[in-house]
A and B are shown apart, each in its own frame.
Chain A
Amino acid sequence: MSVITYREALNRALDEELERDGSVFLMGEEVAEYDGAYKVSKGLLAKYGARRVVDTPITELGFTGLGVGAAMAGLRPVIEWMTHNFALLALDQVINEAAKMRSMSGGQFKVPIVFRGPNGPAEYLAAQHSQALASYWAHVPGLKVVAPATPADAYGLLKSAIRDDDPVVVLEAEMAYSWKGEVPDEEYLTPIGKADLKRPGSDVSIITFGKPLKIALEAAEALAAEGVSAEVLDLRTVRPLDEAAIRETARKTGRVVVVDESWPVASVGSHVAHLAARDAFDRLDAPVELVSGEDVPMPYNHGLELAAQPSVAKIVAAAHRALYKES
C-alpha cells in the first residue's frame, strides 16, 4: 500500500498500460512536452517517445475523431481532453461516431478508446471553464462513463477503461488531482459498472459519484455527530449504473439523498433519484432528495460560485428533510 495522489494514480495506470500494450497511445493538447496541463502524463514522453505520447494542435474535434478511426483500425487510443469543457467541441465524434459504430455496423466494429480529462467546477474559472458535464455522456447508449473519486479508484478504473473494448469516458476532477489516498502496490483492475459502499450506515443513504464524494463523506461525519447514521454509496460508474446497489441501499435505509454537482435537469442525479424511487417505493419513508449544482451558469465571484455548488451544509439539510428533522 502506498499513499499517492489521484494524479499519480492516473499516471501510474497510464504508464503501466503503455508498457503492457504497444497499441495503447496517449494523445492530446500539451500531454507530451509540457507533461500535461495538469501533469497527469508527467514523464511519459520521456519514457515512451513521441510516437506514443502525442501533442496535438488545439483541435478537439479533429483529434477526438482521429482517435475513433485509430480505434476502429485496431489501436487503443487514450484521448486526453485538457478539460471536459473543451470536449464539447468534439461531441459529434463521441456521440455520433464512437458510441454508435458498433450498432451501425451490426457488430462488425469495436471502438476501444478512452476519452479522459478533468470535469466539473474548479475555482474562479467562471461559466465556460467550470461546469459538470457527466449528464452529456451518461445520456448516450454505446458509451461507458466512469467517475473515480479516490486515487485507488482512479488507478483501477482507468486501467479497466483502457482494456475495455468499448468507448469509455473518464470524468476526472481538477480539484481532486492533488487528493491523496492509499493505493495497493500490486496491479489490479476496478470493474466498470460496480458501485462501492464507501461508508456503511442505517438511517439515510447518500448516493453520489466523482468529486462530491468528499463532501458526502464529510456530511456523513457531521450527521454522525448528531447521532444520524448515514450510508455513502459511491457509484463510480455512471453508465452502466449499478442499479442493484442503488436498490439495495435505498431499500435498506428508506431515505435517500442523491448528490450530483451537475445541473439538476435531466441529469445522472435525477435519473438515480428515479431509480431509487422506482425500486424502493414500498420502503421509502420520505421523498428522494436531490442535491445538485444550482441551475445557473457558474459565476466567477467566489461566494457565488460556492453557493452554486453542492456543499456539506446542503447535503446535511437534505438528509434532515429526508429524516423530518429540524435543521
Chain B
Amino acid sequence: MADKTYPKPSAPAPGAGPGRLGGLDKAELLDLLRRMQLIRSFEERAGQMYGLRKIGGFCHLYNGQEAVGVGAVSALDLEADYVLTGYRDHGHALACGMDPKAIMAELFGKANGSSRGKGGSMHLFDASRHFLGGNGIVGAQIPVATGVAFAQAYRGRASGEGAKPTGATLCFFGDGAIHQGAFHESLNLARIWKLPAVYVVENNQWGMGTSWKRVSSLEEFHRMADGYGMVGVDVDGMDVLAVREVVAAARARALDEGIPTLIEAETYRYKGHSMSDPQKYRSREEVDEYRSRDPILVLKDRMAAAGLVTETEWEAMVKETDALVDESVAFAEAGPEPAPGALYEDVYATELAL
C-alpha cells in the first residue's frame, strides 16, 4: 500500500524551462496526470457500480475536481503532513495514495474494505497515508483538522516556543460548508495559536441544489481570511500546477511563519450532488463550459505542447489506470461480507468489562 512517489514540495523553478512545466520534470508531471486519470476512471466505475446496486446510499463523485485534490496533496509530505476532507472523499483518498482496491471494497461494504465495510463512501480513512477521513457532517472536519494542526504545533514546539511544527494539515471542504460556524471558529483558533493549517475551499459552484452565490455574503471566499488576519488566495482549481504552487507556498508559510492560509479553488463537479440528484437547477451549457476546461485535458495538452507526453504514453496511462480500477472491482467483488460478530467490534479502543 505504501506509495511515496510524490515529489517533495519544492519552490517552483522560475519559468517552465526546457523539459519542465511549473518547476516539474516529465516524470513528476506524468505522476500528476496519472493520479488525476486514476481518480476519473475510479469515479466513472464507482458510478456504474452504483447503478448495478453494488454500492448504496450516498455516493458523491469527484469528477471535474481532480486538479484540486491532486495538486494540493502533491505539495505535501505525507510522512509529516495530514489531510482531512468531507464526504466527497474518493478523490482525496486516491490523491493521498490510498489503495483503490481497499476503497472500492469499502464502497461495496465488504470486510476487505478500508473501514471493514463499516464506513462506506463518505467515511474513507487511511492512517498509514495520514488521511484522516471522510466526514459526512458538512463542515465538521474543519475544527478536527485544526486540532490535528494543533497537535503538530504542540509536538514541534515542545523543543521551544519558536520551534517549527512537525508538519502541516490540509483541510478540504466545499462552498456550502464555509458558512458553518465551525469554519469561522476554526480560522480564528488557527490564527491566534499560529497553527500550521491550510484550508482549501473547493468552490464547485453548487452545494446540493444551491448556487454558492445565493447564500454567501461575499463573492470571494478567500477574502474571509482577512477577517481573521490570515492569508487568503484564490486559484484556478482546474489547473493542477497552479493548485500545487499555492498549496506549497501555504504549507511553507504554515511551517515557517505559523500563518494559516485559506485557499479558494474554483472548480466544478460534473456529476450530480450524489447519485440521486436530478440536477434540475443547472444547465447543460454550464456543465459543458467547465468540461471544456477539463483539468486532465488541460494538463495533458500543456504537456503535449511542451513535448512532455506522447499520445502513446497517454493511451498507455489510461489503460493502466483502467486496469487498476478493474482489479479494484474484482477485489471488491471477491471480498467477504463482514461477519455478524463485527457489529460490536471497533466501537471502543479498549475492551469493555461487561
Q: Which residues of A contact B (CB under 8 A)?
A: 29-30, 33-34, 37, 55-59, 61-62, 85-86, 88-89, 122-129, 294, 296-297, 299-304, 307-308
A299 touches B117 (CB 8 A): yes
Q: A34–B281 contact, CB under 8 A?
A: yes
**Residues in chain B near residue A29, CB distance under 8 A:** 208, 210
CB contact list, B179-227 vs A, under 8 A: 179-182, 207-210, 214-216
Rounded to whole angstroms, the CA-CA distance of A307 and B215 in the bound complex is 40
Q: Knowing A33-B210, A300-B109, A304-B343, say if A58 contacts B139 (CB, 8 Å).
A: yes
Q: Which residues of A contact B123 (CB under 8 A)?
A: 126-128, 300
State whether B57 touches A294 (Cβ < 8 A).
no
Residues of B within 8 A of A88 (CB): 137
Binary CB contact string for chain B from 152 to 186 against chain A (1 if under 8 A, 0 otherwise) = 00000000000000000000000011011110000
- Interface status of B22 (Cβ within 8 A of chain A): no
Contact of B56 among A30, A297, A302 (CB under 8 A): A302
A-contacting residues, B102-142, CB 8 Å = 106, 109-110, 115, 117-120, 122-123, 135-139
- Compute how far the CA of A99 lies from the CA of B91 in the bound complex, rounded to whole angstroms: 43
Q: Which residues of B contact A85 (CB under 8 A)?
A: 136-137
Across the interface, which residues of B come within 8 angstroms of A89, CB to CB?
137, 180-182
Are the CB atoms of B210 and A55 closer together than 8 Å? yes
- Which one, B228-236, B285-293, B334-342, is touching chain A? B334-342
Nearest to B138 among chain A residues (CB) is A58
A37 vs B179: C-alpha distance when bound (angstroms): 19
Q: Tell me which residues across on chain A come within 8 A of B176, comparing CB atoms.
A: 57-58
Across the interface, do A55 and B215 meet the contact criterion of CB distance under 8 Å?
yes
Q: Contacts A57-B179, A124-B56; is A303 near B338 (CB within 8 Å)? A: yes
Query: In the complex, which of the residues A55, A122, A129, A304 contacts B136, with contact meaning CB atoms closer than 8 Å?
Result: A129
Q: How far is the CB of B3 from chain A (nearest CB, A)?
A: 25
Q: Is the CB of B137 within 8 A of A304?
A: no
Measured CA separation A56–B214 after assembly (Å) = 9
Chain A: minimal CB distance from B60 (Å): 12
B141 CB → nearest A CB, Å: 11
Please measure, in the bound complex, the distance between the C-alpha atom of A125 and the C-alpha atom of B55, giving whole angstroms: 11
The reply to whether A304 and B209 contact each other, CB–CB distance below 8 Å, is no
Distance A86 CA – B109 CA, assembled complex (angstroms): 24
B181 close to A59 (CB less than 8 A): yes
Assess the A57–B347 pair: CB atoms within 8 A: no
Query: When the two chains form the complex, which single residue of B110, B120, B139, B181 contacts A126, counting CB atoms closer than 8 Å?
Result: B120
Asked if B216 contacts A300 (CB within 8 A), the reply is no
Give 29 pairs: A residue, B residue, CB < 8 Å, sorted on A. A30-B209, A33-B281, A34-B210, A57-B179, A57-B215, A58-B139, A89-B181, A122-B57, A124-B57, A124-B58, A126-B118, A126-B122, A126-B123, A127-B118, A127-B119, A128-B123, A128-B135, A129-B58, A294-B343, A294-B344, A297-B347, A300-B109, A300-B118, A302-B56, A304-B117, A304-B342, A307-B340, A307-B343, A308-B343
B179–A296 CB distance below 8 A: no
Q: Pick the residue among A57, A61, A123, A127 that contacts B216 (CB under 8 A).
A: A57
User: A299–B338 contact, CB under 8 A?
Assistant: yes
Q: With A and B bound together, what is the CA distance between A59 and B181 in angstroms?
A: 7
Of A30, A55, A123, A308, which one neighbours B57 at CB under 8 angstroms?
A: A123
| B120 to chain A: closest residue by CB | A300
Within the assembled complex, what's the spacing in Å between the Cα atoms of A37 and B343?
30
Q: How many Å lie between the Cα of A86 and that of B139 in the bound state?
A: 11
- CB-based contact B337/A303 at 8 Å: yes
Q: Is there contact, CB below 8 Å, between A301 and B281?
A: no
User: Is A126 in contact with B344, judged by CB distance below 8 angstroms?
Assistant: no
A296 and B347 form a contact (CB under 8 A): yes
Smallest Cβ-Cβ distance to B56: which chain A residue = A124
Give the contacts of B25-73 with A (CB-CB under 8 A).
55-58
For B111, the closest partner residue in chain A by CB is A301
Q: How far is the CA of A88 from the CA of B214 in the complex (A)?
A: 25
- The digit string for B269-301, where 1 denotes a CB below 8 A from any CB of A, is 000000000000100000000000000000000
- By a CB distance below 8 angstroms, the chain A residues around B214 are 55
* One of A57, A62, A128 near B137 (C-beta < 8 A): A128
Contacts of B340 in A (CB 8 A): 303-304, 307
Q: Contacts A56-B215, A57-B176, A59-B180: A301 and B137 contacting too (C-beta < 8 A)?
A: no
State A30–B206 Cα separation when bound (angstroms).
Answer: 12
